[in-house]
Amino acid sequence: MVTALVAPVLLLLFGLAFPLGWLDAPDHGHLLAMVRNPITKLVVLVLVVLALFHAAHRFRFVLDHGLQLGRFDRVIALWCYGMAVLGSATAGWMLLTM
37-74 exposure pattern, b = at least 16 Cβ within 10 A, e = fewer: eeeebeebbebbbbbbbeebeebbeebbeeeeeeeeee
The domain of 12 spans 2-96
- CATH number for the domain including 86? 1.20.1300.10
For residue 2, is pLDDT > 70?
yes
Give pTM, 2 decimals.
Answer: 0.77
Mean pLDDT of 24-35: 89
Report in angstroms the alpha-carbon separations of 26 from 5, 13, 21, 36, 82.
22, 11, 11, 15, 36
Q: Tens digits of per-residue pLDDT, 65-87?
A: 888 887 888 999 999 999 999 99
| Nearest alpha carbon to residue 48 among 98, 6, 19 | 6
pLDDT range class, residue 40, cuts 50, 70, 90: very high
- Number of domains within the chain: 1
| Nearest alpha carbon to residue 28 among 36, 20, 17 | 36
